[in-house]
Amino acid sequence: MTDKAQAPDPQDEEMSGQVADAVKGNWVDTRAPVWTRPYLRLSRADRPIGTWLLLLPCWWGALLAASITGELTLRTVWVLIGCAAGAWLMRGAGCTWNDITDRDLDAAVARTKSRPIPSGQVTTKQAAVWMLLQCVLSLGILLSFGTLAIILGIASLIPVAIYPYAKRFTWWPQVFLGVAFNWGALLAYVAVAGELSAAPVFLYLSGIAWTLFYDTIYAHQDKEDDALIGIKSTARLFGDNTAVWLKRFIIMSVVLFAGAVIEALIDGSLLSMLAAIGGAWAMGWHMTWQLSRLDIDDPEKCMVLFRSNRDTGLLAALFLAISVFL
């Protein structure tokens, strides 16, 4: 009696191509049309935390600018909405660029070899076309933000382009990520206020310190593979001293955030300033909570804590939103 080959399960075929570190049961893997999934995976739509981390500094900047006037105008509302759409698109474009430049490295790392390019779901050319499409759509939103914001938006492409290469030449690639990911604090502030001042610069620097905190935690997942292929990171640089450095980043982030609030609101409502400073306190509390639970040798715990930084940024945004109305 001859065994017959079992026909492939259509559901298994549809679920194929999942990326290793994606949220299990995410909408891309379960509900998106099959032909769109490789492109959505390039954009990390199956891993939304990155979009949050790019968006939240934008909301900080817009809400801090609104706190100065004490008004939530239609302009501010549009900037908040436009930043949400733009963050999704530009995070997608940036991640696609990152996957194009890192395609050979990703193939050598256990956590990343399932990404669309090294796993063969899309070609490099197809990824490049997808990246350009996302950039064009983002530009359409940016053009509504005003001249200075447009200039800042175009300038942001420089750190975005450099970041994927940073881990090849510096132990501090997280700084380059912070420079790119927190640019929205400057851009959104300018889009609402129409000018650049010291306050959004302090806010921007606070965000960079925050990025150093959360991305060092993230990088501890890959430190063994990174060591084998020569990739540099703050996780490898700090090693067993990671907790000491993370404490420093918490202090830097909180102090700079509070400094931004004081600089912006010192001549305004005391209640508004105190509410906004509460955002710095909440941010510092949540980061300290993460540090108390961190085990740098537990990749799953590192990923859980890294993803929890959405809540860190949302807490700061919530207090800034409250300050607008006080």
At 33-47, the pLDDT tens digits run 999 999 999 998 888
Average pLDDT score over the chain: 91
For residue 24, is it left (φ>0), alpha (ψ between -120 and 50) or beta? beta
Confidence band of 150 (pLDDT split at 50, 70, 90) = very high
- CA pseudo-torsion sign 232, 233, 234, 235: negative
Domain ranges of the chain: 45-324
Determine the CATH number of domain 45-324. 1.10.357.140
Residue showing tokens 């990171």: 233
Closest CA to 51 of 11, 97, 98, 85: 85
Contacts of 210 (CB under 8 A, 6+ apart): 178, 182, 249, 253, 283, 287, 309, 312, 313
Rounded average pLDDT over 77-91: 96
Residue 112: pLDDT over 90: no
* Structural Rg of the chain based on CA atoms: 21
Percent of the chain, pLDDT > 90? 79
Whole-model pTM: value is 0.88
Q: Provide the angle, in degrees to the nearest 10, between the axes of the packed helices 49-69 and 309-324.
A: 20
d(CA 164, CA 231): 11
Residue 95 CB neighbours (<10 A) = 22
